Structure 1
Amino acid sequence: MDFNSIIGIIIALVAVFGGQALDGGHPGSLVQFTSLAIVLGGTLGAVLLQSPLRQFVLGMKMSRWIFVPPLLDAAGLVEHISVWSAISRKEGLLALDTHIEGIDDPFIRKGLQLVVDGIEPPVLRQVLEVEIETFDDMHRQGARVWEAAGGYAPTIGILGAVMGLIQVMENLADPTRLGAGIAVAFVATIYGVGLANLAFLPIANKLKTLISRQVLMREMLVDGLVGIAKGENPRLITGRLKGYVM
């Protein structure tokens, strides 16, 4: 569980509603379901129009990473590669075949299987790097769904505010309703700007960071497997891979 995300959301909500209360306003005045529906519905429609369905679905699935990020154990991976390199040095590459069955990660399984099959190091690197590039591109497209939402939400918020002001203009004959009507109209702008800068854009940036970390882990794995395929000294491989661990 990523408690930073939870703490960040709490701080943002307290800052907005607490600031409203400290300024003499009523926090309940910021709760306008019509404005929220306009902003969320309009933003969703714009994002769906822009994004292929597969990309949109992936972006929604990736949103769980905000609270439960992928497990990235770089030190553990270095240890596994160190063990594999020592085994291959003593018993040969075929001895690694018994270790493949216990691996859950399909990318690691594929890489280790290619090593066992005796694939030449340059070809091994090329095959795995193509898969890394595909993984990176596909998941960054998913993150761009949230980035696009962050771009559209403020404009949709302004649209909602203008729609509210139109209704205010229709009630000019009743001055007592103008102040409250204008306040309600501008809540849509608050939702648009707030959701973009307190939710959508931070989510997109956090997803990009997590994707970069996963790509780095895979590049580290490729470096280690290529070293094993070349028959490099296990200590050399381990020492080089430790440079990836931060």
Structure 2
Amino acid sequence: MDPATMIGVLGALVFIVVANVMEGGNPASLIAIPAMLLVLGGTLMVCIAGGTMADAKLAVKGLVKAFTGKRPDAAAAVPTLVSLADKARREGLLALEDALNEIEDPFLLRGLTLAIDGTDPEEVRDILEAEVTAVKAATKQTAKFFTAAGAYAPTIGIIGTVMGLVHVLENLAEPEKLGHLIAGAFIATLWGVMSANVFFLPVGARITRLGELEAAQMEIVIEGVASLQAGANPRVVQQRLSSLLPADQREPEAA
């Protein structure tokens, strides 16, 4: 698991609480259940209203993935593909059948199975690229859910503040209550802005980034499988796949 999102979100909350204490505030005063229900619940509902129930279910999976997902490592696929290319060049594609049980990446397994079955290389590429397109589309939709939540939350927080101020105006005859009521009214805005910038937008960015890394890994697999089918020299395969990696990941391979 890559803990970047967990560290970032919790770290931001810690800094907010510490800053509040340093200014003489009481963190407990920021906990207002009505404001939290309005902002979080209202934001969730309007996000669902803007899509389908399937999108909402996809967002739940994306949220879990954002906090517990493993960072896809495209560089780790290169040695495996080079080894398979070497075996395929020496013994033929059918010899790779024995290696299928050792492959953990389901995408690579599908590509190898298609290649071993004698599927036309262009068809194999089309099938695998279609899957990459589907992954990108799902990632985009999931990230869009949280990005939209980041846009809605501050506005819904303002709605809560306006509702609170209306309540303040109803109690102008009791000045001793006004301070507490005004402070409570602005808690909704605080939760709207804070949830958007500390949670919703970072989670959306995290999902987008994980999707990019996953797609990059899948594209390397596609090129590797295509090289296997073409019977390319393993050293050429390594150079070709390494060229698709970011510069900081190419150096260990070259070494």
Q: Deviations over 1:19-67 (max 9, x none)?
A: 2222222222211111001001110110111121112111111212233
8 Å CA contact 1:224–1:237 kept in 2: the answer is yes
8 Å CA contact 2:36–2:188 kept in 1: the answer is yes
Consecutive unaligned residues of structure 1, counting only runs of 5 or more, are none
8 Å CA contact 1:157–1:193 kept in 2: the answer is yes
Once the 2 structures are TM-superposed, how far is the Cα of residue 138 of structure 1 from its aligned partner? 1.5
Alpha-carbon distance between aligned partners in 2 of 1:29 and 1:71, rounded to the nearest angstrom = 38
Match of 1:96 in 2: 96
Match of 1:19 in 2: 19
Query: Equivalences for 1:8-47 in 2 at 5 Å?
Result: 8-47=8-47
Consecutive unaligned residues of structure 2, counting only runs of 5 or more, are 250-255
- Residue 119 of structure 2 aligns with an amino acid whose one-letter code is I
Once the 2 structures are TM-superposed, how far is the Cα of residue 71 of structure 1 from its aligned partner? 4.9
Alpha-carbon distance between aligned partners in 1 of 2:210 and 2:3, rounded to the nearest angstrom = 15
Please tell me the root mean square deviation across aligned C-alpha atoms, in Å. 1.5
Tell me, yes or no, if structure 1 residue 211 matches structure 2 residue 211. yes
Match of 2:131 in 1: 131
Alpha-carbon distance between aligned partners in 1 of 2:243 and 2:190, rounded to the nearest angstrom = 45
Match of 1:222 in 2: 222
- Residue 155 of structure 1 aligns with an amino acid whose one-letter code is T
8 Å CA contact 1:17–1:27 kept in 2: the answer is yes
Alpha-carbon distance between aligned partners in 2 of 1:195 and 1:41, rounded to the nearest angstrom = 12
Moved over 3 A (4+): none
Give the length in aligned residue pairs. Answer: 246
8 Å CA contact 2:150–2:197 kept in 1: the answer is yes
Alpha-carbon distance between aligned partners in 2 of 1:9 and 1:72, rounded to the nearest angstrom = 21
Q: Deviations over 1:159-204 (max 9, x none)?
A: 1111111111111110111111011000000000000001100000
Match of 1:155 in 2: 155
Once the 2 structures are TM-superposed, how far is the Cα of residue 69 of structure 1 from its aligned partner? 1.9
Alpha-carbon distance between aligned partners in 1 of 2:27 and 2:135, rounded to the nearest angstrom = 44
Q: Percent identity at matched positions?
A: 38
Q: Deviations over 1:42-98 (max 9, x none)?
A: 101101111211121111112122332235233331111111111110111111122
The normalised TM-score by structure 2 is 0.91
Alpha-carbon distance between aligned partners in 1 of 2:139 and 2:6, rounded to the nearest angstrom = 23
